[in-house]
C-alpha cells in the first residue's frame, strides 16, 4: 500500500476563479486518485458537520421500533434508514456493520420538495428508489436533525457546483462533443441527488466497514469521518485510534491508497456517471472502508451523491433512471 500519494488539495475561491483548473488532470485524470480536496470552507460548514455527524450516532441508537418506522422497503431501502442491505462482492458480503440514512436532496432546487417533482415521479413511477418521499425522525427524538441535514447537504451541493464548473471547463477542451455546462447544470438543478449519512458500528477485528465499490454518481461529496468512542457515556469526537482504519482508494494504476480528509475540508470523487459523460476521461473511483481494531470505536460520515435527474441521458441509450437501476440491481 502506498501511504505517500497525496490527493490534490485546492482552495474553494481559487477553484471558483479558475486559478487551479490546470490541476484537474492531476486530481481526476488517468494517473490520479480520482479525488480532490477543497479547503477554505465557511465556519458554518464545520459547525454543521459536527452536529450532523454526531446525530448519526444518536440516530443509530434509537429503539428498533423507531428505526423500523424510518425504513422504506418500497424504496429499496434507499430512502430513510437502512442497515445490512447492500452486497458489494461476489462472495455475498453484506455491510452488516454499516447503518445508513438516505435523503433525497431535491430541496436544494426547491425547498418545498422532499422527492423529485410530481411530473418526474409520475413519469418514472416504477423507480421507487428515487421517487419515494423523504422520511425523517421525529423532532423530539433528535432535535434539529432535519434542519441541519438539509443545511449541510445544500452547502455541499453548492461546493460541488464549483467543482463541476471546473470539470466543465476541462471537458469542453478535452472531450469531443461535450455539452457546455453539462455537469454544473446537473449538480445544481438535479432533483435526484442523494445524501447518505453513515454510521459504522464498532468492530474489534478490523473487518471491512464497507466493501469495495464505485459510486454511480457524477461527483460524490464527502465530509471527513468523525470517530467516536461509544463506550464513553459522553459522546464526542476523538482522533482515529487505528491509523490503518479508514477510507482507501484503488488508484488508476491499481494501487491501494489510504485517503485522509481534514476536518475542515470536503473531498469530491468521481463516479461512473461522470465516467460515461466524459467518455472515460474521468474514471470512477473504486474505494472501501476498513474497520477499526480498537473495541467500541464508531465512524460517522456524510456522502452526497450529485447525479442527474431521472430523465437526463447518461449513455446514448439510457437515461439516469435506467442506468442507475441497472447498477443498483447488481448490489442487491
Highest mean pLDDT among 115-119, 177-181, 324-328: 115-119
49 vs 256: which has the higher pLDDT: 49
Q: Of 63, 102, 70, give the one whose Cα is nearest residue 86.
A: 102
Angle between helices 182-189 and 145-174 in degrees, nearest 10? 170
Question: Is the residue at 259 inside a domain?
Answer: yes
Residue ranges making up the domain that contains 307: 8-329
- Position 2 scores a pLDDT of 42
Based on the structure, what is the number of domains in the chain?
A: 1
In a domain, 137, yes or no: yes
CATH number for 13:
2.60.120.330
Name the residue with higher pLDDT: 25 or 166.
Answer: 166
Asked if residue 1 is part of any domain, the answer here is no
In this structure, is residue 74 part of a structural domain? Answer: yes
**pLDDT at residue 87, as a whole number:** 61
User: What is the tally of helices (H) and strands (E) in the chain?
Assistant: 10, 14
Averaged pLDDT of the chain:
90
End-to-end Cα distance, the chain: 30
Average pLDDT over every residue of 97-104: 95
pLDDT tens-digit series, residues 211-254: 888 898 999 999 999 999 988 878 789 999 999 999 999 877 78
| 187-220: pLDDT as tens digits | 999 999 999 999 999 986 767 788 888 898 999 9
Look up residue 115 and give its three cell numbers: 422527492
What integer pLDDT is reported at residue 155 of this predicted model? 98
Residue that is written with C-alpha cell 434542519 in the block: 147
The CA-atom distances, in angstroms, between 86 and each of 89, 97, 180, 295, 321 are 9, 11, 36, 24, 19
The alpha carbon torsion through 38, 44, 50, 54 (nearest 10 deg) reads -120
pLDDT band at residue 186 under the 50/70/90 scheme: very high
* Grid cell for residue 263: 476536518
Report which of residues 214 and 71 the model is more confident about: 71
Predicted pLDDT of residue 259:
94
**Residues 280-294: what's their mean pLDDT?**
88
Per-residue pLDDT at 90: 46
pLDDT at 318 over 70: yes
> Is residue 329's pLDDT more than 80?
no
pLDDT bracket for residue 36 (50, 70, 90): very high
Per-residue exposure over 234-249, b if at least 16 CB sit within 10 Å of its own CB, e if not: eeeeeebeeeebbbbb
Structure-model confidence comparison of residues 65 and 230, the more confident one: 65
Region 261-285: mean pLDDT is 89
The alpha carbon of 216 is separated from its chain's Cα centroid by a whole number of angstroms, namely 10
Tell me whether residue 3 is in a domain.
no
Q: Can you point out the beta strands (E) in the chain?
A: 8-11, 35-39, 80-83, 98-104, 194-200, 208-213, 219-223, 226-229, 237-238, 246-250, 256-259, 266-270, 287-290, 297-306
Is residue 2 situated within a structural domain? no
Enclosing H/E stretch for 230: none
Does the model's pTM come out above 0.75?
Answer: yes
Burial class (CB within 10 angstroms; exposed 0-12, middle 13-18, buried 19+) of 270: buried
Amino acid at each position: 500500500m502506498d501511504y505517500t500519494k497525496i490527493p490534490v488539495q485546492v482552495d474553494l475561491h481559487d477553484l471558483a476563479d479558475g486559478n487551479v483548473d490546470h490541476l484537474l488532470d492531476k486530481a481526476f485524470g488517468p494517473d490520479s486518485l480520482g479525488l480532490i480536496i477543497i479547503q477554505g470552507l465557511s465556519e458554518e460548514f464545520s459547525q454543521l458537520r459536527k452536529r450532523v455527524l454526531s446525530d448519526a450516532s444518536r440516530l443509530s441508537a434509537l429503539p428498533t421500533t423507531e428505526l423500523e418506522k424510518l425504513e422504506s422497503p418500497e424504496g429499496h431501502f434507499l430512502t430513510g434508514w437502512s442497515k445490512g442491505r447492500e452486497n458489494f462482492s461476489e462472495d455475498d458480503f453484506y455491510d452488516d456493520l454499516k447503518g445508513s440514512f438516505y435523503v433525497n436532496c431535491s430541496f436544494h432546487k426547491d425547498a418545498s420538495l422532499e422527492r423529485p417533482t410530481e411530473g418526474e415521479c409520475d413519469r418514472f413511477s416504477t423507480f421507487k428508489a428515487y421517487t419515494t418521499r423523504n422520511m425523517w425522525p421525529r423532532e423530539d427524538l433528535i432535535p434539529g436533525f432535519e434542519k441541519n441535514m438539509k443545511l449541510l447537504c445544500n452547502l455541499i451541493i453548492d461546493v460541488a457546483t464549483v467543482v463541476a464548473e471546473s470539470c466543465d471547463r476541462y471537458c469542453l477542451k478535452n472531450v469531443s462533443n461535450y455539452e457546455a455546462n453539462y455537469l454544473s447544470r446537473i449538480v445544481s438543478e438535479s432533483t435526484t441527488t442523494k445524501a447518505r449519512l453513515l454510521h459504522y458500528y464498532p468492530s474489534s477485528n478490523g473487518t471491512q466497514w464497507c466493501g469495495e465499490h464505485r459510486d454511480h454518481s457524477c461527483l460524490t461529496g464527502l465530509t471527513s469521518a468523525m470517530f467516536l468512542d461509544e463506550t464513553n457515556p459522553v459522546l464526542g469526537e476523538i482522533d482515529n485510534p487505528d491509523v490503518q482504519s479508514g477510507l482507501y482508494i484503488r488508484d488508476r494504476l491499481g494501487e491501494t491508497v489510504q485517503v485522509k480528509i481534514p476536518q475542515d475540508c470536503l473531498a469530491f470523487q468521481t463516479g461512473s456517471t461522470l465516467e460515461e459523460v466524459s467518455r472515460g476521461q474521468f474514471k470512477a473511483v473504486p474505494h472501501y472502508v476498513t474497520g477499526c481494531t480498537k473495541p467500541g470505536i464508531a465512524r460517522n460520515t456524510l456522502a452526497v451523491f450529485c447525479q442527474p435527474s431521472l430523465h437526463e441521458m447518461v449513455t446514448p441509450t439510457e437515461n439516469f433512471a435506467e442506468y442507475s437501476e441497472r447498477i443498483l440491481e447488481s448490489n442487491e
